[in-house]
Copies of this chain bind each other. A is one copy, B any other.
Amino acid sequence: MVKVGIVGGTGYTGVELLRLLAQHGRADVVAITSRAESGRRVDELFPNLRGHYELTYSEPDVQTLAACDVVFFATPHNVAMNLVPELLDAGTRVVDLSADYRLRDAQLWSRWYGEPHASPQLLSEAVYGLPEVHRERIAAARLVACPGCYPTSVQLGLLPLLSRNLVDTQYLIASCASGASGAGRQARVDNLLSETAGSFKAYGVTGHRHLPEIEQGLSDVAGSLVRMTFVPHLLPIVRGIHATLFARLRPDAPDLQELYRSWYAQEPFVDVLPAGVLPQTRTVCGANRCQIAVTVPQGRDTVVVTATIDNLVKGASGQAVQNMNIMLGLPEDMGLSHPGLLP
């Protein structure tokens, strides 16, 4: 059994890790930390876990965590970057679900997160945990930086187009929408049901922290700097990311349906839908899966890609488990093979 530690287990990505690892078969969660809830049973906070865990939250303690084979950070940014160096030194593998190691450029990171990076020396070592791009490097990594939820959907949606240099990279547009669980389990008026139910809005239009991450990833595959306009929206639902992506096609583009189908044919968790079928957030709810459709409306020169994931699964904890599986040489879909919940 793999000994697993979870730092910051009171948020939604924490409980989702526990849900997925309960079905994993090879993972044994031996420590879960929370300063605020130390001493409280996990299933008291999350009654869906009753009968599945006897775990109790503990104060974060490096020694305990270092004894794990893998430690997940399910924390806000600015926690992992302070603890990870010690864990790596102790030989522990780390999967960081936060933003701390997603950007390679420490100054760019500081500009978007408003403080210096605490362990910039690890930024070049950290592997960006999008298996569809970096599977081999993940297998060899000590430290994996799990992609954000929006970046996962946007990059998977545009990967074939940019890798093959089929679109104008200076005018990419991503109009995305997320369920409220993406905002975390924080007490904020803006996220009350009474403030969000029955409504829809854009937010962060002037600049969202996922933008530099997306542009970094897409520039890598395009081989040159890309430029994207990214507008996130808040959906009055709990789970789900929907990305609607627009790009201007260069002349003589190939059959895009076939391109996408073949590009992802071997990927266990990317599902290119048949022509004419569009993804919904509900068709991937609870599953570690990205569903994608590609369309060129009216045969004009703009391609529209729509992609959906569950922000807590393929957009966070599921992808984290997928990364763990790859790092440890386990079957990549271990604990992740169940269908989504529909309806």
**A residues near B, CB below 8 A?**
12, 15, 18-19, 22-23, 46-52, 171, 173, 175, 177, 179-181, 183, 185-189, 191-203, 205-207, 227, 229-231, 233, 235-240, 242, 244, 246, 248, 271, 273, 276-287, 291, 293, 295, 297-298, 300, 302, 304, 306, 308, 312, 337-343
Contact = CB atoms under 8 A, between A and B. Distances in A.
A199 B281 contact: yes
Contacts of A179: 194
B231 A244 contact: yes
Q: Which of A177, A183, A282, A337 has its CB near the most chain B CB atoms (within 10 A)?
A: A282
A233 B244 contact: yes
Contacts of A196: 193
6 contacts: A47-B273, A198-B240, A231-B244, A233-B244, A236-B237, A238-B343
Contacts of A235: 200, 235-236
Contact of A206 (B242, B295, B312): B295
Copies of this chain, complex-wide, total 4
Contacts of A297: 205-207, 229-231
A194 B185 contact: yes
A276 B202 CA distance: 12
Contacts of A338: 19, 22-23, 338
A177 B244 CA distance: 11
Q: Lowest 5 A-B CB distances belong to which pairs? A: A199-B282, A175-B175, A201-B280, A48-B340, A48-B342
Contact of A193 (B46, B238, B244, B300): B238
Given A173-B173, A295-B206, A282 B185 contact: no
Given A187-B188, A238-B198, A286 B244 contact: no
A51 B276 CA distance: 18
Given A205-B304, A244-B175, A280 B200 contact: yes
Contacts of A200: 177, 235, 237, 240, 242, 280-281, 308
Nearest to A313: B341
B229 A194 contact: no
B202 A48 contact: no
B206 A298 contact: yes
A236 B236 contact: yes
A28 to B, nearest CB: 16
Contacts of A173: 173, 175, 246, 302
Contacts of A302: 171, 173, 229
Nearest to A284: B48
Given A229-B304, A271-B50, A304-B205, A197 B197 contact: yes
Contacts of A46: 342
Given A47-B283, A304-B205, A192 B189 contact: no
B181 A238 contact: no
Q: Which of A195, A196, A207 has its CB near the most chain B CB atoms (within 10 A)?
A: A195
